[in-house]
Chain A
Amino acid sequence: MAPDQLFRFSVITTVGVLTTIVLGTITAALMEGRAIVKAFENMARQPSVADSIQAILLIVLAILESTAIYVLLICLVFLFANPFSNIFGL
């Protein structure tokens, strides 16, 4: 592979990965914020069920967080084990 091609491949991969992880984390953070706001509103409205809301909120947050983790995994695959690098013989 020519150096020019290698340079272009690396730049495109890096820009793609950076765009993906920025969009993925922003989406997950916004949606987590919505879940937290709703949970806090309802905790303030009904303090008697605040404990059970908090327990479920923790689990829901971990599940939402895993959406960002999936994005991170895809980014890691494209950084460290790019499936297209075999085609170019890198």
Chain B
Amino acid sequence: MIKYLKLHDDKCVGCMTCTATCSRLYAKVDDPAKSRIQVLPAGSGRFHLVACDQECRKCVAECPVQAITVNSQGVVMINKNLCVGCLACVAVCPIDAMRFFPAEPVPFKCVACGACVKTCPKDALEIAEKADSPQSREYLELAAAVQQGGRK
């Protein structure tokens, strides 16, 4: 199963409570540029919410040092100690959910912690689960296919 932050654009009013909650929790400041969730104006008073869907895992496959892995709940996590800050993950993310802040060494992303869900006044966010998909398993299969096991 994959735990993820389910986004309801139709309910979002753009109040930015989620970004404030997120950036205060993880970066100790209220700054949308440091929030793991983004609220993007979509025109006509509408908003588009962006956060990692935890499923595509292109970043997991791309990371040269395997600093990005998937935890037991199916959430994509970055190990700050292993990360070399190359930002390849930022480049491959198809929805710009992998973010970085200029001159800070490690990128960041939504880990489906649910803090923003609790503070959203409009129920636009929820923690949900979905089944694994062929895409979500691909990174494992790619690595398994090349393991040299016993070569040593």
A binds B: no
- Residue positions of B touching A, CB distance < 8 A: none
